Each structure stands twice: as C-alpha cells, then as structure tokens.
A and B are shown apart, each in its own frame.
Chain A
Amino acid sequence: MARVRIIPCLLLRGHGLVKTRKFKDPIYLGDPVNVVRIFNEKEVDELVVLDIDASREGREPDYEVIAEIAGECFMPIAYGGGVRTLDQARRLIRCGVEKVVVNTAATESYDVIRAAAQVFGSQAVVGAIDVKKTLLGGYRVVARSASVEVKMSLDEHVQGLVAAGAGEIFLNSVDRDGTMDGYDLSLVRRVSQQISVPVIACGGAGTIEHLAAAVHEGGASAVAAGSMFVFHGRLRAVLINYPQSLELTR
C-alpha cells in the first residue's frame, strides 16, 4: 500500500497568499512565509504554490518571493505560474523549488515540458490542467487562470503532457475550486484511468471523506486542497489547518 500525499495548494498573488472560488473572488489569507511555517509544524507531505497572476499578466515568476518561500519550506515544494522556458525552470530549481509546474505554456507547446523533463527528470516536471465543465456535461481545458479556452480536447492534452515527459498531472477543476463540495470524481477518474503517471486531484475538497473519495473512487495518486486547509467553519474564517496524523493509503 502506498501512502497518499496530501498537498496544500497555495495561491500566490503579489507577495501574499489568496484563496479563490471558481478561480474568482480572491480572499487574502496572509503572508506566505507565515503560512509555510504553520505547514512546517503540521509536517505536510508537500506544498504546491501557484502564482495565479503570472500567466494572465504575461510575466516571469517572482524569483525573490519563491526563493524566500522555498527557504522556509521543510518539505518539498512545487511552483507554478508563468513558467514558459527551460531557463525559467532552471532558475526556479536554483531558488530551491523541487518541482516545476507548467500549465498555460503547455497548452501552446509541449517544448518546455520536454526540455525540463530531459534536464531535470520527469519527476521534477508537473503538467497542470485547469478544466471546466461544458453545458453539455463534457470537459473543456482552459488556460491563463481560466480566462481562455483551449482548442485541444482534455484527453488529447493529458496524453500530450505525459508523452512530452510530465512526471505528474495536477488536475484542477475550475467549477469545484473553493466550493468545498467534493472533487469532480468523474473527471479525476477519467484522467487517472488513461495514464500511468500520478494524478494529483485538486478542486472541491472540503472534508477528509472527499480526499479519500478522490483516491478510492477517482483513482488519484495524491490529493491537493486549498480552502480545506486554510478556512475554518461556514463563515470561512482564515485558519491554517491540516488534520494531524492524517494518513491515506491506496
């Protein structure tokens, strides 16, 4: 039985952390370093930090902030947001990041995934996909923080990312983001069934049961959550938390 990684997913905006709902209405959570320190205490398996403005604004990752965050992380960290070139990936890894997450750039070309996988190994390259449900119940890949639709089908894109060398797929449901209603299990199942590399499910987690369902019903290898680890109660008061001795296996 493999231990399932449970991964807080933190959204970076400027120098602060926020949490969105359906990729909108960001609520300010606090200073990233303070939040990371709390997650150190909780001994989380891994952290994912995504700069949600970088691609939309067409700018580079903020290396200074990332290095500061990575230096505080006593666990591996994956960074995504605005990663378009091998040089950027190299710089991020020098900043102390273990994995580089590529999303928008990979919807245009798989070159950066391919190059980074060759240089750093597939395990250091995460292909991220943001998915929206269509009116007819199908799935549509979106990019630039869900501001544009991608022509390629979901399945085609999943296969393309893996073939190019992505060592993991970070699968995020835009519709479930911040809802805490549970993962889109049919989406998770659909993607995890067709590839052998690990799928990290994200979007919708509100309870431990949701996390378990993504693994046991969805087939996810790892589970990520935002709101669940940063909010408390129905009024969504900001409270960094991570269930102690939380352990899932598959």
Chain B
Amino acid sequence: MIAVVDYDIGNLAAVANMFKRIGAECEITSDVEKIRNATKLVLPGNGAFDACMRALHQTGLIPVLEEKVLQNLTPLLGICVGAQMLGHGSEEGGEKGLGWLDMVVKRFPSTLNLKIPHMGWAEVERVRPDDPLISGLDDRARFYFVHSYYMQPANPRDVLLAAHYGIDFAAAVRSGNISGVQFHPEKSHRYGKQLLEQFSRWN
C-alpha cells in the first residue's frame, strides 16, 4: 500500500485518485501503523515551507518516517514543497528541512524579473532518461508547476529532470530510495500518471 502522508495541508484527494486510476493501492493517512506498513510513501506539501515543516512536526510522524525512509529504505516521493522539505532547508523560511537529501532550496533570482510564483505547464528535459522513475517519459513530457523556490542538490547527479524558468532548475531529484518532484504529477494528466505509475512499480 502506498501511504500519502496526511499532515493537514489541504486536499490530497487528487494524488490518491490518480494512484487509484493506475490501479495502485493507496491511502491518505496520518496513522503511524499504516505508515509503518506502507510499501511506498508520498510526502505532499503545499503553501509555505515553514508552515509545512511545523505541521509535519506536529503530527509526530517524523520518527516513523525516518525509520521507514532511512533504515528500511522504503521508496519515498516528495511532491512540491514535500520534495523541498527533503533537503536541509529553504530560503523561504527558517525551519530546518528533513535533511534526507543533500540539497538546499533557493528562491528564483529577483534580478531576472520573473513572475513569482512560477505557475503553469512546462516541458522538462530528461537529464537521466534511464532512471527507473522517469524512463517512460517522452520528449513532449510536460508538467504543471506552482512554486516560488526550487531545489538545488549538492550533487548534480541527483537531478533526474530539469525545467527552465529564467534559469535551469531541478524538476525531479532522486538519491537512492528518496525522490522528489517540484511539479504536481496529480495535476499533470498522462505524464503525471506515467511518473506515479513508475513510482508505484519502482523497487
């Protein structure tokens, strides 16, 4: 069962519905036992970095998530702010990140005069096209983004997909069993479905 971690950050139904559409067993949950028994984990995130980190701390779920992700090496997919939270921290706030991925989260440079947040469909470049998480995507793959900050892994090899908005940034990252996507697969039709399907099959 894929557990979508529920920590009171809004409507997660679209994520669960897309997994159901794929035929993967999935539950939105904040139950420790269900999370402990899950075969895969999804960490969503919406809104401000600090608010998400605090909300996650408040659930008391971080120890069981660490046990799963760091000891049992259960595959994890972070989505949007949920992916950003996997790093050390974000320029958006003062809270520490989970620190499971060696990366920081930065704001788009103001010198570029970009409209912030970056919001809308964007095509992605496959940096590691053979990676099991994204190998099925084609050249036309596009995803729906809503974000003001972007992930910057310390090791460029952790970048699976790149997108461009004023600068090139990481759209999907992975190191070992821990992965994250900046976009919203659950709002990205076929390509989002493809990615979630590969995640659900990934070992």
In the complex with contacts A43-B190, A73-B187, A74-B192, A121-B14 CB distance below 8 A: no
A67 within 8 A of partner (CB): yes
Q: Decide if B11 touches A94 in the complex (CB within 8 Å).
A: yes
B171 shortest CB reach to chain A, Å: 17
Known contacts A43-B190, A121-B119, A123-B117: A98-B146 contact under CB 8 Å: yes
Tell me which of B116, B121, B146, B186 contacts A74 (CB under 8 A): B186
Within 8 Å CB of B117, what residues of A?
Answer: 121, 123-124
- In this assembly, does B10 line the interface, its C-beta being within 8 Å of a C-beta of chain A? yes
A residues in contact with B198, CB < 8 Å: none
Chain A CB within 8 A of B132 CB: no
Nearest chain A CB to B52 CB, angstrom units: 13
Q: What secondary structure prevails in chain A residues at the interface with B? A: mixed
Chain B 96-138 interface 0/1 with A at a Cβ cutoff of 8 Å (1 = within) = 0000000000000000000111011100000000000000000
Q: Which of B162-203 contact A (CB under 8 A)?
A: 186-190, 192-193
A75, B11: Cβ atoms closer than 8 Å: no
Contacting A at CB under 8 A, from B20-77, are: 21, 46
Q: Is the CB of B116 within 8 A of A75?
A: no
| Inter-subunit contact B11/A67 (CB<8 Å) | yes
Answer whether residue A14 sits at the interface, using C-beta atoms and an 8 A cutoff: no
Contact of A3 among B11, B121, B186 (CB under 8 A): B121
- Note all chain B residues with C-beta closer than 8 A to A40: 189
Q: Kindly provide the distance from the CB of A80 to the nearest chain B CB, expressed in whole angstroms.
A: 17
Determine the chain A residues whose CB is within 8 A of the CB of B154 once the complex forms.
none
Does residue A89 face the partner (Cβ distance < 8 Å to B)? no
Determine whether the beta carbon of B119 is less than 8 Å from that of A123.
Answer: yes
- CA A113 – CA B186 in complex, angstroms? 27
Give how many A-B residue pairs fall within 8 Å (CB-CB): 67
Q: How far is the CB of B50 from chain A (nearest CB, A)?
A: 15
Q: How far is the CB of A200 from chain B (nearest CB, A)?
A: 13
Chain B contacts for A73, CB-based, 8 A: 14, 187
Give Cα A73–Cα B120 distance, bound, in whole angstroms.
Answer: 15
Known: A3-B121, A75-B144. A121 touches B10 (CB 8 A): no
B51 CB to closest chain A CB, in angstroms?
Answer: 12
List A36-51 residues whose CB lies under 8 Å from chain B: 40, 43, 45
Number of interface residues, chain B, beta carbon within 8 A: 25
* Among A68, A71, A76, A123, contact of B115 (Cβ-Cβ < 8 Å): A123
* Contact status B14-A96, CB under 8 Å: yes
Please classify how large the interface on chain A is, using the bins under 10, 10 to 19, 20 to 34, 35 or more.
Answer: 20 to 34
Q: Which residues of A contact B188 (CB under 8 A)?
A: 74-75
Contact call B11/A122, Cβ cutoff below 8 A: no
Contact indicator A122/B115 (Cβ below 8 Å) = yes
**CB of A248 within 8 Å of the partner chain:** no
State the Cβ distance, B16 to closest chain A Cβ, in Å: 8
Are A121 and B189 also in contact (CB < 8 A) when A72-B14, A74-B18 are?
no
A131 interface residue per 8 A CB criterion? no
Contacts of B186 in A (CB 8 A): 74
Residue A146 is within 8 A (CB to CB) of chain B in the complex: no
* Closest Cβ–Cβ distance, residue A33 to chain B (whole Å): 10
- What residues of chain B have their CB less than 8 Å away from a CB belonging to chain A? 10-11, 13-14, 16-18, 21, 46, 115-117, 119-121, 144, 146, 148, 186-190, 192-193
What are 13 A-B contacts defined by CB distance under 8 Å? A3-B121, A5-B121, A45-B121, A70-B14, A72-B17, A73-B187, A74-B18, A75-B188, A75-B189, A95-B10, A96-B14, A121-B148, A123-B119
